[in-house]
Amino acid sequence: MGRLPRGRKTLTVVALVVVGMLTVIAAPGISRAKDAALGAAGTAIQDRPDANESCPWLDSETPIATRVDKLIHAMTPLQEATLLHLLQVNLAVPYEGYTPAIPSLCIPQITEQDGAAGVASGFMKTVVNDFPGVTQLPAPIADAAAFDPSLARQYGDVIGAEDAAKGIGLALSPTINIDRSPLWGRSYETLGEDPYLTATLATPLVQGIQANRVVSVLKHFAVYNQELNRGTSLDNSVVSDRALHEIYLPAFSAATQAGNAGAVMCSYNLINGVPACQNAALLDGILRGQWHFDGFVRSDCGSVYNEAAAMAVGVSQVKCTHLYSPQELAAAVATGHLARTELDGLARPLLTVLFQYDLIANPHPLDPDRIATTPAHRAVAQRTNAEGSVLLKNNGNLLPLDLRHISSVALIGPGGGTPMPAGHGAMHVRATNPVTAEAALRSVLGTRLRYYDGADTRTAAAVARGAGTAIVVVHDAEAELHDRTSLALPGNQDALVAAVAAANPRTIVVLETGSAVLMPWLSTVPSVLETWYPGETAGPALVDLLSGKVNPSGKLPVTFPTSAAPATMPDATAATFGGTDGRVSYTDDINVGYRWYQVNQVQPLFDFGYGLSYTRFRFSAILAKVVPAGGGAPGSGVTVQATVTNVGPVQGTDVVQCYLGYPAEAGEAPRQLRAFTRVDLAPKQSKTVQFALLPGALSTWDTRSGSWVVPAGAFRFFVGDGSGSAELPLTATVELAAASLGPNSGPGHPGG
């Protein structure tokens, strides 16, 4: 299977296009027409007894390349062009994007859907069908905070399984752009600010999705890090070649080569003046040339500016645009203005992937109303809550709480104490079995729970006063199309926390945020727990964390600044985020996220990789050893081992992290993540962990030679459980010789 892992009434329709996104206002009486349309489009081709005779490309014994050739030879230019222009959601076809069936060629309707946290309804909320019966997973940023590739695989499997159950062949997921600024409205969709962490988690995410015969469409290639001016020439990311390779491309390299992703979505923005979807250096030079990608490239919604330029770099599909009109492309072939071979060249990679995933002969039945969620899927959601929640502060060991004997608990916050279960935008997933914090705590505490929505600070203080413990749940509000203008909590939430903390010294703050927020009240509260956008299992997961049934083990995948001023946070000016004069200046260069704080010697509020536990861990006995690459390969690798011991009173899991310090002449940040592993330990138990760093993990990008190179000199290795110097007690140094590894290598690359 190639890439595939083993394992009607008259209706009145009103359409509104909002920044390239289609919203449809539903009219009554659509169900029968919709069901008929889906039934006709979704019939399994193999059910036709003469299918293999009339459509020989369905023969699974024939090599895929031959099947593609046969199908292309049988197609008219108009039929071929029809596959290149995605249609949008409408009353009869509720999928976000699709190409219509071509029955004469045995081609079924091919469908796609967001999103990164489950089967999304997002901008389709006003459509009669908004994909009920799915699992609202915690946001991808929570998955990132778990630092757990095995969980990422399960997370991806839930997305792929539920997509398949709904009849979706292409999942617009995952979002693997770097969270360059916490102001980005889509920070919650990402896997954080570090390219190595993102690359390491992107690969199993893709593999999990595609294990269900659903094609993973990687988003958004590349250097897409803001919403302001999206889809216009003003969104021009001016970035150095070195930063492009070291920061913004590693996750795509890993997800296409190790993850074997079937498709890549080119992004809205320009990169150094050239639109991403028209960028030959990016698509032909790097993606296909250096990485040998043989899947297909498609646009985002309206991200193609010039049709001829996009066709020239092999963009196979477009969406939300008048470009790639099937009728016009067919006419151009007929008049000789477009070579048929050029049209074939666009269709070939698309058809190849569709055959590889058996989506032509054996499409997933179109059933948008099917119940796709399962208890096992909800268990993955709750495991993501458990592993991804980050304990930021716990003075006096206020947590965990003894919920069996506590006199009373005041829960304060809107939405039953779960105000922001999911981010907004195309990624928004409709919950099937949501359980709020109030409902979950009520099931344990009964009348000992006092709940108030927090609308008035005086009332909130009165509710909190006298309670055994007060829990305040606060949130930010991230959304596609809109960047945040401030890192402050919206509305009166800071005042709310301050009022409750003044009324009750045993106040716990629970954050539901998509990235970093400011905490002016931090010194007044003993405990803070970050749960991100927790999804439909928010309530039970929070009870487990508060009670100690689950010991927090998450680590921050983003840095939390002390303020949003340019002196204390990177990319805090209009020129560097948002842009001025038609350019967004990536002057942070390779020093993105925690690297910027290190290089500029700025102490953040909370470091990348930081997270507390209800127990304590000690590190000892570091050993670093040079290992020749072997097999005639250039360069040497390094193995690093260390011992971690649980010196506290309860069982716990720590994320042991290994950071690399380059020779000073390399011009790199002092410490960069290069390996990590989760270690579960009983009290007084010790384990020795070992990290094998291949030569690529030790390399930097050399623009002059167009190659990854290992600089000669002393390399330092740091081991602990965070990127801050206080969390990295162990260091070791080795000397390495210089080596050139070629253009297809680097940190996060599967082959080193």
Q: What is the DSSP string of 497-536?
A: HHHHHHH-SSEEEEEE-SS----TTGGG-SEEEE--S-GG
One DSSP character per residue, 155-191 reads HHHHHHHHHHHHT-SEEE--B------TTSTTGGGS-
Q: Which helix (H) or strand (E) holds 102?
A: none
Strand 215-221: give its sheet, edge to edge.
Answer: 87-88, 97-99, 110-114, 170-172, 215-221, 263-266, 296-301, 315-319
pLDDT at 10: 32
In this predicted structure, the answer to whether residue 521 has a pLDDT above a threshold of 60 is yes
Residue 19 has a pLDDT of 35
- Give the confidence band of 752 by pLDDT, cuts at 50, 70, 90: confident
Question: Is 182 a residue whose pLDDT tops 90?
Answer: yes
110-142 pLDDT tens trace: 999 999 999 998 765 555 457 899 999 999 999
Using the predicted structure, report yes or no on whether residue 46 has a pLDDT greater than 60: no
Query: By percentage, how much of the chain surpasses pLDDT 70?
Result: 92
Mean pLDDT of 587-616: 98
Q: Which helix (H) or strand (E) holds 144?
A: helix 140-145
Higher pLDDT, 27 or 221: 221
For Cα atoms 81, 111, 79, give the angle at the middle one, nearest 5 degrees.
Answer: 20
pLDDT score recorded for residue 125: 55
- In this prediction, residue 104 has a pLDDT band, given cuts at 50, 70 and 90, of very high
92-101, 497-506, 612-621: least confidently modelled range: 92-101
Average pLDDT over residues 642-667: 98
pLDDT at 29 over 90: no
pLDDT digits (tens, 9 = 90+) for 230-268: 999 999 999 999 999 999 999 999 999 999 999 999 999
The pair of three-digit structure tokens given for residue 397, joined into one six-digit string = 């060991």
The mean pLDDT of 529-555, rounded to a whole number, is 98
Average pLDDT over residues 564-590: 97
**352, pLDDT greater than 90:** yes
Confidence at 34, pLDDT banded by 50, 70, 90: low
**Secondary structure element (H or E) that encloses residue 654, with its range:** strand 652-661
286-303 confidence digits (pLDDT tens):
999 999 999 999 999 989
pLDDT at 436 over 90: yes
Please, what's the b/e burial string for 252-266 (b: 16 or more CB within 10 A of its CB; e: otherwise)? bbbbbbbbbbbbbbb
Other CB atoms within a 10 A radius of the CB of residue 405 amount to: 8
What are the tens digits of pLDDT across the range 149-179?
999 999 999 999 999 999 999 999 999 999 9
Helix and strand numbers, DSSP H then E, in the chain: 20, 30
pLDDT at 20 exceeding the cut of 90? no
Q: Quick check: 345 pLDDT over 60? A: yes
Distance (Å) of CA 99 to CA 41, 251, 574: 10, 29, 40
pLDDT digits (tens, 9 = 90+) for 54-95: 999 999 999 999 999 999 999 999 999 999 999 998 888 999
CA angle 240, 589, 582 (to 5 degrees): 65
Q: Please compute, for residue 2, the number of CA atoms within 13 A of its CA located in the half-sphere on the CB side.
A: 22
Q: Given this model, what pLDDT does residue 26 score? A: 40
pLDDT at 622 > cutoff 90: yes
0.85 exceeded by pTM: yes
pLDDT reading at 7 higher than 80 = no
Tokens representing 260 are 């074997």
Residue 18 pLDDT class (50, 70, 90 cuts): very low
The partner residues of 717 in beta bridges, in order of sequence, read 660, 732
For residues 106 and 401, the answer to whether their CB atoms sit within 8 Å is no
Cα dihedral angle (236, 240, 244, 247), rounded to 10 degrees? -110
161 Cα distance to chain centroid = 17
Q: Hey, what are 451's tokens?
A: 């709940």
Phi-psi region of 260 (alpha: psi -120 to 50; beta: other; left: phi over 0): left
pLDDT at 40: 57
Confidence category of residue 35, pLDDT binned at 50, 70, 90? low
Using pLDDT thresholds of 50, 70 and 90, give the confidence band for residue 633: confident
Average pLDDT, the chain: 93
pLDDT at position 382: 98
Exposure of 558 in the CB half-sphere (CA atoms within 13 A): 29
First to last CA, the chain: 27
Question: Which percentage of the chain shows pLDDT scores above 90?
Answer: 89
Please tell me what DSSP assigns to residue 117: T
**Residue 254 and residue 200 in contact, taking contact as beta carbons nearer than 8 Å:** yes
The whole-angstrom distance between residue 443's C-alpha and the CA centroid of its chain comes to: 33
- pLDDT given for residue 52 in this prediction: 72
Only one residue has tokens 């066709």, namely: 311
Rounded to an integer, what distance in angstroms lies between the CA atom of residue 660 and that of residue 568?
24
Q: Give pLDDT, residue 39.
A: 62
Q: What is the pLDDT of residue 274?
A: 98
- Specify the pLDDT at position 90: 86
The DSSP result for 262-300, as a single string, is: SEEEEPSSEETTEEGGG-HIIIIIIIIIIS---SEEEEE
User: What value does the CA radius of gyration of the chain take, rounded to a whole number of Å?
Assistant: 26
User: Can you give the pLDDT at residue 596?
Assistant: 98
For residues 540-552, average pLDDT: 98
Q: What was the pLDDT predicted at 38?
A: 64
